[in-house]
Chains A and B, each alone.
Chain A
Amino acid sequence: MSKKKIGVYVCHCGGNISDYVNIDMVKEAVKDEADVFLVKNTVFACADSSQKEMVADIQNDQLDAIVIASCSPKLHLNTFRSVAQRAGLNPYNYIQANIREQSSWAHSNDKLGATGKAIQLVKAAIAKARESEALLSKKITALNAVAIVGAGVGGMSTAISLADMGTEVYLIEKSDSVGGQVANFGQVFPSNTTGKELVEKLHSEIKKRAKIRLFTKAEIIDKKGSIGNFEVKVKVVNEELSLHVGGFVVNTGFESYQPTNGEYGFGLLENIITLPEFKQLVDHSDKLEYKGKPVNTVAYIYCVGSRQDDEGDNKYCSRFCCTAASHTAVLAKQKFKNITNLHYTRGVRTYGKQELIYEEASKQGDIFLQFTLDSIPKIVTKGNKTIVTVKDILTSGKTIDAVVDLVVLVTGMVPRENKGLQSMLKIPLGRDNFFNEVHMKLRPVETVIDGVFIAGTCQSPKNILETLNSSQAAAAKANSVLTKGEISLEPVLAKLNPAACTWCGKCEEACSFDAISMVDCEGRKVANVNESNCKGCGMCTPACPVDAIDLAGFTNSQIEAMIDALAQS
């Protein structure tokens, strides 16, 4: 390896790093490392002025490689690759050292230790930079076509947006009709329209667009390929279809929480129902009756299946239910004038403009009580009466008994079981078991799998407005990626040396992306890497007994140099 001129930049990250890591000590410790030409510190390496300075340094001093010691590459890898690129340096001659997540934040109680570790990490990065090679991205053509999974309001909205932006759309729905859960909703807050009308409007818009092909009773059964070029098999009723798409938008929605048997008396007492059941009752009855008995007093019990204690799985707030319950209570009262609504809440969360519906419920005479998890409402029957007893924290802990005719359990959203799809598209789950985005603020509709986008309530509980916003945002993202017609492939790929390969099949076994197969090479059986399937994960390299596979960007010589540097310091 020829001698390189390396520039090293150590970032303060405001104080995120420099409050714990002594930047001057880091600079001092690495300035005499072989090939290091300059060492600088910067308050925010990612700020535009710092980027400009780096570009100028690379060009003026003709640097061959740069090391940036700042945060996790998850955050700014692309930022700094583009700095290198703008300066005319190959982006793979830039090496990141993570001294924030791995030093300052992890060892905030030990400043000297954090500094020592930062020095080691920077030295290892310099060692890697010394061995770094220029890598070239291969460009592949990308299809401007998207498969959308789920034709609820979210999926339909994504489909319309994508089609109008010029993308071909395959809208794949498992059930026999569109609209998902919203199709059964009556009036939806904050509009005067019903869920049914909303779904009908979207469906008629779908039908107008030649670019959208809707399949109901359809399911994806197989997927191959990578961003820009996915081969998809879809089972429609009993037929199998092959589709060729550039990406996926997953918009599979939610499931309503089903109370367990006996939860607040559910399934044991006959006049206990869930909010979705109650909404149907309100929408479709002229008199409020349940099982033939008139209903004059309704008790709404909030947070059923949400914000659970240690024994429950659902720690999260379901977001829409406080508003949905207040709104349903307002509609019920408007329709059935004389009813009394009692709300047993855990603190009303009608955030934003939704506050107005809570206010309306209060104004119409609804009574709001509040309980904590330590003393949840008890529901008992005495004779033919149902009594709800609660220790109400709004009246400084008084125990309040109320005779009610119907108990409505305000059930939240739970993630839909979708193991097949999830493992086929390799979508990661968050700690709440909803599908997880890469970064809530930077990449909110992307998953770690390139070309697989998520939107709507499969990601987290959302109301209709929020579902539409995220669905259209996913459309914008998918379109902006695919509309150019080509995509640069990451050049961090497995590289095979056919002369050394003795084909044992171990690399093929280790690969989880179907990127390795056996081919015939001049009469010998050897492994072959399909570059558009390879994700550069590196699982194959240690499996090879004869070192015939190396990973570009993480070569054995680079990793060994890093280990040597770490071992020496």
Chain B
Amino acid sequence: MSNTHSEKQVKTCLNDIKYDVLVIGGGIAGEESALKLADMGYKVILVEKEPSIGGKMILLSKVFPTLDCAACITTPKVSETARHPNIKVHTLTEVNEITKDSSVFSVSLKKKPRYVIENDCTGCQECENVCPSITQDQFQFNLIARKAVYIPFSIANPRIALIDIENCVLCGACEKACPSNCIDFSMEEETINVQVKSVVVATGFKLFDPISIERYGYGKFKNVITSMQMERQLAPTRPFNSILRPSDGKTPDKIAYIFCTGSRDHTVGNPICSQVCCMYSTKQAQLLMGALPMADVSMYYINIRAFGKGFNEFYLQAKDMGAKYVKGKIAGITEKENGNLVLRYENISTGKITESEHDLVVLSVGLLANPEITKAFKNEKLELDALSFIQQPDIMLNPARTSINGVFVAGTATAPMDIPDTIMSAGAAASETSSYLKSLS
């Protein structure tokens, strides 16, 4: 009798932390949903698997069609999220299991060790200075290297260090250099159990990896890069202070964009349009023409999808600035000895097979579904649509609802979308979640 009692006590103790909402994903969709709900007075726990919140947007340069600097728009939302008294943020944390019991979701979270004591790190970067181990910087999309102990990027939140243990040589130099004694190699993965009344899935999208389109030579030809790599080169927190092509560090002056890389393409299993690539490519073209006034920028496209508020005007502006839009799908790329690339395509306006030489090729990669989270739902199934996005069973009335009552969805977890649409969808998810929580009480 007493034994059962104490067992029960232990269990209650583990599940003691209660929140109204679990938001999965700390990109702009998750932040916007969390902020709206927190402003309404709900207690929110937000989990992010990366070491910083901010998602993909915080890594962008400027955003179309207003050319606002992306960091200027995300950082206030990011710091408001981190600071809000009703929001608890866990970075480096993934959802392991979610079990629904009547109207309570029991959630087990796995928090990866940072090997740095969060509250003590001041972000001074002394550890980075002394670390001997170098690896590719994933937040600069492998354009440059970083240390094994590192701050993810300059506007990361929290702006503190972490140790990438796989690349760490365990030399202990960082431990000696740290002035606040916050390096701790004994940290282990932590399990956090919480109970929540509702869940917002804001797990975003995956970028298409163009390595599978062999004819474009990505990964083989050095001067074929992705649009995200170009985005980093154009960002205020850019790795170089200029636009450089990878093979020889030369400033490119004949740049080509290949639209619809990994979108509208059955051969890679993604038949739909990614909704943002036409516009982000058009934006990059405008920024490139500003940064490199002498450069030629050619845009190889199928259709231009400039559909949103101010988008068509923005596209016409890029044309007026001198971006050359060529209707034609690239059939193949060959590399010359000097690293230049020859693009072969049918020029639709002439009907002729044409070849043209460029010194840098940017692949406008698309947005894919990121369905991993469905595995975490144990006793009720979070359904996906035919394209592996989170299914919206009531799309024409309540687009934020999912197949599980009490679980809502925001942003690109449902479909490719741009930032304004993502913010709207996150607002709708907050509204649905609040209505649901009100209906419980």
* A and B found bound together: yes
Binding site for B on A (CB under 8 A): 13-16, 43-44, 46-49, 51, 71, 75-76, 79, 157, 161, 164-166, 188, 190-191, 193, 198, 201-202, 307, 315-317, 319, 347-356, 359, 393-397, 430-432, 434, 440-442, 444-445, 459-460, 464-466, 468-477, 479-480, 483-484
Instruction: Tell me the bound Cα distance from A360 to B117 in angstroms.
Output: 55
In the bound complex, do residue A14 and residue B434 qualify as a contact, i.e. CB atoms below 8 Å apart?
no
Chain A residues, Cβ within 8 Å of B222: none
Given contacts A13-B69, A43-B154, contact A356 B272 (CB under 8 A): yes
B residues less than 8 Å from A432 (CB atoms):
309-310
Report the minimal beta-carbon distance from A428 to chain B, rounded to whole angstroms. Answer: 14
* A327 to B235 alpha-carbon distance, docked (Å): 40
Flag B305-327 by CB within 8 Å of A: 1 or 0 each.
11111111100100000000001
CB of B285 closer than 8 Å to a CB of A = no
CA distance A468 to B327 in the complex (A): 34
**29 pairs of residues in contact across A and B, judged by CB atoms under 8 Å:** A13-B69, A14-B71, A44-B72, A44-B75, A44-B155, A48-B75, A49-B123, A51-B79, A76-B76, A79-B79, A161-B432, A164-B438, A190-B395, A198-B397, A201-B397, A316-B310, A317-B307, A319-B307, A349-B303, A349-B305, A352-B275, A352-B417, A393-B349, A394-B348, A396-B350, A440-B310, A469-B400, A469-B428, A476-B430
Chain A residue at minimal CB-CB distance from B266: A359
Verify A441–B396 contact, CB threshold 8 A. Answer: no
> What residues make up the interface of B, taking CB atoms closer than 8 Å to A?
36, 39-41, 63, 66, 68-69, 71-73, 75-79, 82-83, 123, 154-155, 157-159, 235-238, 264, 271-275, 303-313, 316, 327, 348-352, 387, 395-400, 415-417, 419-421, 423-428, 430-432, 434-435, 438-439
Contacts A71-B72, A191-B395 given; indicate if A319 touches B431 (C-beta within 8 A): no
Residue of B271, B313, B427 most packed against chain A (CB within 10 A): B427
Q: Which residues of chain A have C-beta atoms less than 8 A from B157's C-beta?
A: 47-48
Decide if A46 touches B237 in the complex (CB within 8 Å).
Answer: no
Q: How long is the Cα–Cα vector from A356 to B69 in the complex, in angstroms? A: 33
Contact A353 B423 (CB under 8 A): no
Collect the chain B residues with CB atoms within 8 Å of residue A157's CB. 397
**What are the residues of chain A within 8 A of B312 when measuring CB–CB?**
307, 315-317
Instruction: Please give, as numbers and ranges, the residues of chain B lying within 8 Å of A188 by CB-CB distance.
Output: 396
Most interface-central of B72, B155, B310 (chain A CB within 10 A)? B72
Known: A13-B236, A71-B72. A479 touches B351 (CB 8 A): no
A317 and B395 in contact, given A76-B76, A394-B348, A477-B36 (Cβ under 8 angstroms) = no
What are the residues of chain A within 8 A of B63 when measuring CB–CB?
441
Q: How many contacting A-B pairs (Cβ < 8 A)?
A: 217
CA of A469 to CA of B418, assembled, Å? 13
Given A468-B396, A469-B421: A460 touches B416 (CB 8 Å cut-off): no
Known contacts A164-B439, A319-B308; A473/B428 CB under 8 A: yes
Q: Could you say which residues of chain A place their CB within 8 Å of the CB of B350?
A: 396
CA of A328 to CA of B306, assembled, Å? 22
Minimum CB distance partner of B279 in chain A: A351
16 extra interface residue pairs, beta carbon distance < 8 Å, beyond A190-B395, A315-B313, A473-B428: A316-B312, A351-B275, A351-B305, A353-B272, A353-B415, A353-B416, A355-B271, A355-B272, A355-B273, A393-B349, A396-B352, A465-B399, A471-B428, A473-B430, A473-B431, A480-B40
Docked-complex contact B36 and A476, CB < 8 angstroms: yes
Is B304 a contact of A347 with CB atoms below 8 Å?
yes
Name the residue on A nearest B83 (C-beta): A48
Cβ–Cβ contact B396 & A191, under 8 A = yes
B79 with A468: CB separation less than 8 A? no
B307's contact among A349, A394, A472, by CB below 8 Å, is which?
A349
Report A480 CB to chain B, min CB distance, Å.
4
Contact of A396 among B39, B316, B349, B415 (CB under 8 A): B349
Specify which chain A residues have a CB less than 8 angstroms from the CB of B155 in the assembled complex.
43-44, 47
Q: What residue in chain A is nearest B272 (Cβ atoms)? A: A355
Q: How far is the CB of B276 from chain A (nearest CB, A)?
A: 9
The answer to whether residues A14 and B235 also contact, given A395-B351, A444-B423, A465-B396 and a CB cut-off of 8 A, is yes
Q: Point out the residue from B83, B306, B387, B427 that lies within 8 Å of A469, measured CB to CB.
A: B427
Scoring B398, B435, B438, B439 by chain A CB atoms within 10 A of each residue's CB, the highest score goes to B435
Closest to B311 in A: A317
Residue of A nearest to B32 (CB): A473
Q: Which B residues lie within 8 Å of A393 (CB)?
A: 327, 348-349
Least CB separation from A79: chain B residue:
B76
Docked complex Cα distance between A464 and B427 (Å): 16
* CB atoms of A316 and B313 under 8 A apart: yes
Q: Across the interface, do A161 and B431 meet the contact criterion of CB distance under 8 Å?
A: yes
Selected contact of A165 from candidates B68, B316, B438, CB within 8 Å: B438
Q: Is the CB of A44 within 8 A of B427?
A: no
Q: Which residues of B contact A396 (CB under 8 A)?
A: 348-352
Q: In the assembled complex, which residues on chain A have CB atoms less than 8 Å from the CB atom of B73?
A: 75, 441-442
Smallest beta-carbon distance B203→chain A, Å: 18
Set of chain B residues within 8 Å of A440, measured between Cβ atoms: 66, 309-310, 420
A317 touches B236 (CB 8 A): no
Specify the chain A residue showing the minimal Cβ separation from B426.
Answer: A473
A317 to B271 alpha-carbon distance, docked (Å): 23
Given that A14-B235, A472-B432 are known contacts, is A47 also in contact with B396, CB under 8 Å in the complex? no
Is A165's CB under 8 angstroms from B434's CB?
Answer: yes
> Does B82 contact A48, Cβ atoms closer than 8 Å?
yes
A316 touches B309 (CB 8 A): yes
- Contact call A474/B434, Cβ cutoff below 8 A: no
The chain B residue with its CB closest to the CB of A322 is: B307
In the complex, chain B residues whose CB is within 8 Å of the CB of A347: 303-304
- A-side contacts of B387, CB under 8 Å: 353
Whether A472 lies near B427 (C-beta < 8 A) is yes
| Interfacial chain B residues near A307, Cβ < 8 Å | 312
Contact across chains for A356 and B271 when beta carbons are under 8 A apart: yes
**In the complex, A554→B276 CA distance in Å?**
43
A343 nearest CB across to chain B (Å)? 12
B384 to chain A, nearest CB (A): 13
Greatest chain A CB density within 10 A among B273, B316, B352, B387 is at B273
Q: Report chain A residues within 8 Å CB of B304.
A: 347, 349
**B79 contacts A46, C-beta separation under 8 Å:** yes
Question: Which of B71, B158, B400 is the one whose CB lies under 8 Å from A472?
Answer: B400
Chain A residues, CB < 8 A from B306: 317, 349
Give CA–CA (A480, B80) in the complex, Å: 15
Q: Smallest CB–CB gap between A314 and chain B, Å?
A: 10
Closest chain B residue to A160, Cβ basis: B435
CB-nearest residue of chain B relative to A193?
A: B396
Let me know if A166 and B425 touch, CB within 8 A: no
Q: A191-B395, A202-B397 are in contact. Are A472 and B431 (CB under 8 A)?
A: yes
The 9 closest A-B pairs by CB, nearest first: A14-B236, A473-B427, A396-B351, A164-B435, A472-B428, A48-B79, A476-B431, A460-B309, A480-B39
- Which residues of the partner chain A approach B431 to less than 8 Å between Cβ atoms? 161, 165, 472-473, 475-476, 479
Contact partners of A316 in chain B: CB under 8 A? 309-310, 312-313
Q: Interface centre among B40, B82, B304, by most A CB within 10 Å?
A: B40
Instruction: Let me know if B308 and A460 touch, CB within 8 A.
Output: yes
Which of B309, B312, B349: most chain A CB closer than 10 A?
B309
Report the separation of the CA atoms of residues A198 and B396 in the bound assembly, to the nearest whole angstrom.
8
Are the C-beta atoms of A465 and B395 separated by less than 8 Å?
A: yes
Specify which of B36, B159, B311, B415 is in contact with A47 (CB 8 Å cutoff): B159
Check if A468 sits within 8 Å of B273, measured CB to CB. no
Contacts A395-B351, A430-B309 given; does A469 touch B399 at CB 8 Å: yes
With CB as the reference atom, state the residue of chain A lying closest to B236. A14
Give the docked Cα–Cα distance between A307 and B313 (Å).
9
* Minimum Cβ distance to chain A for residue B350 (Å): 6
B386: nearest chain-A partner, CB-CB: A356
Contacts of B68 in A (CB 8 A): 441
Cα separation A166 to B431 with both chains bound (whole Å): 11
Complex Cα distance, B419 from A475, in Å, reads 19
- Flag if B396 contacts A15 (CB, 8 Å): no
Nearest Cβ on chain A to B372's Cβ, whole angstroms = 20
B76 contacts which chain A residues (CB < 8 A)? 46, 75-76, 79, 442
Residues of B close to A14: CB separation below 8 A: 69, 71, 235-237
